[in-house]
Amino acid sequence: MSWFKPHATLNTAHETVVDRCINCGHHQEIKTTITMEFGEGNYNTGPICKPCYNSYRPVRQVQAG
């Protein structure tokens, strides 16, 4: 009888996500995905890292908890 971790593939939501931050352009730990405005009508949706997120307040700020 083989044994394996059935929950191994269900933990992706809690794993650390490292991607290219649209604000600073560095590969860092991602906080969330936001839409930023770069001038008139120029919108860019993408991931934002934790340090940038802490210093940048999105228009739609969601307070969890």
Nearest to 48 by CA among 63, 27, 33: 33
> For residues 10-39, which are near Zn ion according to CB under 5 A?
21, 23-24
How far is Cα 56 from Cα 37, in angstroms, rounded to an integer? 12
Minimum distance from residue 40 beta carbon to Zn ion (Å): 23
Considering just the CA atoms, what is the radius of gyration of the chain in Å?
Answer: 16
Closer of 13 and 21 to Zn ion (Cβ):
21
Task: Please give the size of the binding site for Zn ion, defined by CB under 5 A.
Answer: 5
Residues contributing to the site for Zn ion (CB under 5 A): 21, 23-24, 49, 52
